[in-house]
């Protein structure tokens, strides 16, 4: 298989890119020549990712906003287009996870998880569409989860519901915008070795989960990033409305 072709003169917005999978995705796209806008609620974390990319002599900038804030999202997208000349790639990675049972989940927590994971994906996708349509080319890549196809390993029902919603949104939007030269796909990671996962469950439980998978380890953020980079490439131009698993065989159990 050929190497992923460079994406020079393309610009990407990656949400939740201050750490974990988002940071790895931002760095992987930058290595392909993409100009990267790093979004995160944590401005210091976002700037850390930017400095890492710039150290490799690639272009990057940070934009702090909450993906549940429609005005903030639109401002981020418009600023990106004005600064870099367009918005060609969107990776909806921002997410929150709580391991709360249904009986103990209050309405505020439910709404927050749905808002970040699902509404944020909708708001960011809506905001970039006109820019991608003007360019006649676009890639929207939504980070869902194995939870969207089954049940969350560590998160609550709100996490499972939000990630299932992302898959439905992905399929529907893909049909709407295919004729505009825009592809829309979802990536469904299993248990990935990130700060969010390490915060949610202890080391013993993490090890037990890993040993139960056909590939007996947690996934690496860099592995998810490589899959996202492929979906952003020209070579993936005939893939849309798809959900791609990267889970060590978790769903085969």
- The answer to whether residue 4 sits within a structural domain is no
Residue 251 located in a structural domain:
no
Does residue 21 form part of some domain? Answer: yes
pLDDT of residue 253: 60
Q: Is residue 107 part of a domain?
A: yes
Name the more confident of 116 and 2: 116
* DSSP string computed for 125-181: HHHHHHHHHHHT-EEEEEE--GGGTS--SSS-HHHHHHHHHHHHHHHHHHHHHGGGT
Q: Are 125 and 92 in contact (CB under 8 A)?
A: yes
For residue 67, pLDDT over 60 is answered with: yes
107: pLDDT strictly greater than 80: yes
Domain presence at residue 252:
no
Query: What is the pLDDT at residue 52?
Result: 97
Among 34-48, 86-100, 138-152, 204-218, which stretch is predicted with the lowest mean pLDDT? 204-218
Confidence at 200, pLDDT banded by 50, 70, 90: confident
Question: How many folded domains does the chain comprise?
Answer: 1
* Residue 36: domain span: 11-239
Rounded to an integer, what distance in angstroms lies between the CA atom of residue 99 and that of residue 211?
Answer: 21
pLDDT at position 1 over 90: no
pLDDT attached to residue 209:
82
Q: Is residue 6 part of a domain?
A: no
Structure tokens at 204: 């013993």
Is a pLDDT exceeding 60 seen at residue 18?
A: yes
Task: Indicate the pLDDT class of residue 22, thresholds 50, 70 and 90.
Answer: very high
Mean pLDDT of 102-121: 98
- Per-residue pLDDT tens over the stretch 112-143: 999 999 999 999 999 999 999 999 999 999 99
- Tell whether 148 is covered by a domain: yes
Name, of 71-80, 147-156, 192-201, the range with top average pLDDT.
71-80
Closest to 13 (Cα-Cα) out of 140, 119, 134, 126: 140
Asked if 159 is an active-site residue, the reply is yes
pTM value is 0.95
- Residue 12 clears pLDDT 70, i.e. is over it: yes
The residue annotated as part of the active site, out of 98, 159, 209, 238, is 159
Please report whether residue 245 resides in a domain.
no
Q: Pinpoint the alpha helices (H) of the chain.
A: 20-31, 43-55, 70-84, 107-114, 120-135, 157-177, 195-200, 203-212, 221-232
For 233-246, the pLDDT digits (tens) are: 999 999 999 999 99
The domain spanning residue 137 has which CATH number? 3.40.50.720
Confidence of residue 39 (pLDDT cuts 50, 70, 90): very high
Angstrom distance (rounded) from CA 135 to CA 164? 30
| Local confidence band at 65 (pLDDT 50, 70, 90 cut-offs) | very high
- Residue 195 confidence (pLDDT) above 90: no
Is residue 48 classed exposed, middle or buried when 0-12, 13-18 and 19+ CB atoms within 10 A define those classes? middle
Q: Does pLDDT of 25 surpass 80?
A: yes
């Amino acid at each position: 298989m050929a190497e992923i072709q460079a994406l020079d003169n393309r610009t990407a917005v990656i949400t939740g890119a201050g750490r974990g999978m988002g940071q790895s995705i931002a760095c992987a796209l930058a290595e392909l020549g993409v100009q990267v806008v790093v979004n995160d609620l944590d401005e210091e974390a976002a700037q850390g990712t930017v400095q890492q990319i710039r150290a490799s002599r690639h272009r990057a900038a940070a934009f702090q906003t909450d993906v549940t804030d429609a005005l903030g999202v639109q401002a981020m997208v418009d600023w990106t287009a004005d600064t870099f000349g367009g918005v060609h790639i969107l990776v909806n990675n921002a997410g929150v996870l709580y391991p709360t049972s249904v009986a103990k989940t209050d309405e505020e927590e439910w709404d927050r998880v749905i808002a970040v994971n699902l509404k944020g994906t909708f708001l960011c996708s809506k905001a970039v569409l006109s820019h991608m349509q003007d360019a006649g080319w676009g890639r929207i890549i939504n980070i869902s989860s194995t939870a969207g196809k089954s049940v969350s390993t560590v998160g609550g029902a709100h996490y499972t519901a939000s990630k299932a919603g992302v898959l439905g949104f992905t399929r529907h939007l893909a049909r709407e915008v295919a004729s505009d030269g825009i592809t829309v796909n979802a990536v469904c990671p299993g248990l990935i070795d990130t700060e969010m996962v390490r915060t949610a469950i202890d080391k013993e439980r993490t090890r037990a989960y890993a040993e139960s998978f056909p590939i007996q380890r947690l996934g690496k953020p860099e592995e998810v990033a490589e899959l996202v980079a492929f979906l952003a490439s020209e070579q993936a131009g005939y893939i849309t409305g798809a959900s791609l698993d990267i889970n060590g065989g978790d769903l085969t159990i």
